Amino acid sequence: QVQLQESGPGLVKPSETLTLTCTVSGASITDSYWSWFRQPPGKGLEWIGYTYYHGSTNKNPSLKSRVSISLDRSNNQVSLKMNSVTAADTAIYYCARQIRRYFDWWGQGALVTVSS
């Protein structure tokens, strides 16, 4: 069974950088694509981007300029950084394993609130 666990600060100040880590167990991050999503409170899901160990990365154009996604093979982790955050970035952030074009395992989510 694959398990994913998001971690990071629950509160980020406006204009600062949001950083989240997704720790994967039960699978190697080198074997699959890994995606990040977010869900504002009471709203639907939005795809942020995906990355693959062997080089392929793509991001939602609406967030592309502010987002980076990276892999840490030694710790089997996937990281998300989003800069210049505003209140509109307040959401639950999820990481998920991507198989072809669907997402079979999800983390439990991490709530990030942007507020001063």
> Which amino acid, one-letter code, is at 91?
A
CB of 76 to other proteins, least distance (A): 19
Give the CA-trace dihedral at 96, 15, 12, 98, to 10 degrees. 0
Residues 6+ apart with CB under 8 A from 71: 29, 30, 34, 51, 53, 77, 78, 79
CB of 5 to other proteins, least distance (A): 11
Burial class (CB in 10 A: 0-12, 13-18, 19+), 39: middle
CB of 52 to other proteins, least distance (A): 13
Q: Which C-beta is closer to other proteins: that of 16 or that of 39?
A: 39
Q: Which C-beta is closer to other proteins: that of 12 or that of 110?
A: 110
Q: Which C-beta is closer to other proteins: that of 18 or that of 94?
A: 94
Q: Which C-beta is closer to other proteins: that of 44 or that of 55?
A: 44
- Per CB under 8 A, residues contacting other proteins are 44-47, 49-50, 58-61, 94, 96, 101-109
CB of 108 to other proteins, least distance (A): 5
